[in-house]
Structure 1
Amino acid sequence: MLTADNQIVITPDTWIISDTHFFHENIGRYCNRPENWQELIFKNWNELISPNETVLHLGDFALGKKNNFDLLISMLNGRLFLIQGNHDRLSQTYCETHGVTLIKDSIQIELEDRLKLIFSHRPIVPLEEGWINLHGHIHNVPPPPEGSNLGPYHINMSVEVKEYRPWRLKDIISHLL
């Protein structure tokens, strides 16, 4: 769902994913991904997400040339909102001309007046009491310094730890309610 100014409205049905790293040649070795990891993510994404649904990507969508980005956007279902990760290099204008909303900072929301959620690329440390942080960046490797103090309210959405697929927000948080 979008507001009149093309901003994301996050609902329990919003799809969440992070760190796909499409066209990143070394990520397979770095994170011990299966050989067919790109095809696996494509397949899972398009089997789960319909063209009209909202996808919030928590950063590090793709590397490489602009035509790689264009190809991905034409092949993947859903309306993409991308929180800029450390490997996302395209400009906001370029993304928007291709139907993608690039978000420079984290997003904070209160969902159904009971859950306070922060969506970010890097884990938020320290995390204020009462907040839940859905993030990426740390993949499935030992966490960098910013990940060393992660607690039960940090939810890593990197594809390596989430079955190489997007997840509906309601399914992610159902065990927290």
Structure 2
Amino acid sequence: MVENCFNKLYRMFNADNQIVITQDTWIISDTHFFHENIGRYCNRPENWQELIINNWNNLISPEDTVLHLGDFALGKKSNFELLTGTLNGRLFLIQGNHDRLSQSYCEAIGVTLIKYSIQIELEDRMKLIFSHRPIVPLEDGWINLHGHIHNVPPPPEGSNLGANHINMSIEVREYRPWRLKDIISRLG
């Protein structure tokens, strides 16, 4: 069933970007590289940055597409350059609340910055929205893959999250990216 959903490529356009999403697109959110306090806030393992990088590069090839749902990294521009030179794949980043780099800088380091959510409708009529923050309320029939809430109890605006909200924050996803086809296959 999953294979049939992706008989063609899905091209998403906004004013600035084009992204191609296929069944083999990798999805990840809220890595927060170089964020000194996130380990304590979210009870991450001591070696969390190394763990994420190793998992990322063990799964993702240089030719793969990665859709990051926001809050990629913090700090100096040199941190971003180090990461983009280290991590495999072509990175598309939906801008999260901690992603503060300009579109032109991201393009210069090979990252496509997306300032809006992405919506796709699959051939079997499954409708997906990729966003940083959970979308509440969510229209009937849509599935929202999001980040932002990590592994902590959701804030009041997140109390309405249901089965159609899929949290892709790394703390609840084994500190690794997931292929879109594997996420969809778990939906049943």
**TM-score (ref. length: structure 1):** 0.96
The 8 Å contact of residues 11 and 111 in structure 1, kept in 2 or not, is answered as no
Structure 2 residue corresponding to 1:158, chosen from 156, 164, 169: 169
The 8 Å contact of residues 10 and 120 in structure 2, kept in 1 or not, is answered as no
The aligned amino acid for 2:94 is I
The alignment partner of 1:9 has SS state of strand
Matches within 5 A, 1:137-156: 137-156=148-167
RMSD: 1.6
The equivalent of 2:4 in structure 1 is: none
- Map Cα deviations across residues 84-118 of structure 1 (whole Å, 9 max, x no partner): 00000000110011111000010000123421000
Unaligned runs of 5+ in 2: 1-8
The aligned amino acid for 1:17 is I
The alignment partner of 1:160 has SS state of helix
Q: Is 2:110 the partner of 1:99?
A: yes
The equivalent of 1:21 in structure 2 is: 32
- Map Cα deviations across residues 15-35 of structure 1 (whole Å, 9 max, x no partner): 000000000000000000000
The 8 Å contact of residues 10 and 22 in structure 2, kept in 1 or not, is answered as no
The equivalent of 2:5 in structure 1 is: none
Post-superposition shift, 1:173? 1.1
Deviating beyond 4 angstroms after TM superposition, the runs of 4 or more aligned structure 1 residues are: none
Equivalent pairs: percent with the same residue? 85
Residue 56 to residue 129, structure 1, CA distance change in 2 (3 Å)? same
Post-superposition shift, 1:14? 0.3
- Map Cα deviations across residues 5-56 of structure 1 (whole Å, 9 max, x no partner): 9611111110000000000000000000000000000000000000000000
The equivalent of 2:126 in structure 1 is: 115
Distance 1:35 1:175 in 2: 29
Distance 1:107 1:21 in 2: 21
Structure 1 residue corresponding to 2:47, chosen from 28, 31, 36: 36
The equivalent of 1:58 in structure 2 is: 69
Distance 1:8 1:145 in 2: 32
Post-superposition shift, 1:145? 2.0
Residue 2 to residue 68, structure 1, CA distance change in 2 (3 Å)? farther
The equivalent of 1:67 in structure 2 is: 78
Post-superposition shift, 1:2? 9.5
What count of residue pairs does the alignment treat as equivalent?
A: 177
**TM-score (ref. length: structure 2):** 0.90
